[in-house]
Amino acid sequence: MNNTTNLFSLATKAAQKAYCPYSKFAVGSAILSTNGNFYFGCNVENISYPVGTCAEAGAISAMIANGDTSIAEILIYADSQELISPCGACRQRIAEFATPQTLIHVANKQGTIKTYNITELLPHSFSEF
Ligand code: THU
């Protein structure tokens, strides 16, 4: 299984576990760190809507908790016909742990995959203060 296929499999499985009773929009995300480890997460909603978290945040948290800080590839899967477009906050979250080489894949339930780099998704990002 190649990396992207593996990431797709992990992200779709995570999406099946998504807790999304309010939006009914299941999202799964899987990461391959530059150290070669795989992580995944799903969206977790809340009755107090702003408290909900995105799938990318869960996957990144799992990566950080295991001691990795650099993303080689991340895949974001939505259980929808349309390819998901990661939210602005998640673009910023990914940017924190991305390099110019990081592959950011988005995927839908037909298995269509489109790949971006972080500059395409978050141009002119805030980087110094
Ligand atoms: N969602 C994600 O998990 N990632 C994104 O990049 C966009 C949106 C989730 C949040 C919410 O639970 C649902 O999708 C609908 O917005």
Question: What is the model's pLDDT at position 76?
Answer: 98
pLDDT tens digits, one per residue of 42-101? 999 999 999 999 999 999 999 999 999 999 999 999 999 999 999 999 999 999 999 999
Is residue 87 lining ligand 1, measured as CB closer than 6 Å? yes
Is residue 113 lining ligand 1, measured as CB closer than 6 Å? no
Mean pLDDT of 14-34: 98
Cα distances from 43 to residues 69, 72, 80, 86, 120, in angstroms, run 21, 21, 14, 12, 24
pLDDT at 15 over 80: yes
Q: Is 56 in the active site?
A: yes
pTM: 0.97
Query: Which residue among 27, 60, 75, 84 has the greatest number of ligand 1 atoms within 8 angstroms of its CB, and so is best to mutate?
Result: 27
Is residue 73 lining ligand 1, measured as CB closer than 6 Å? no
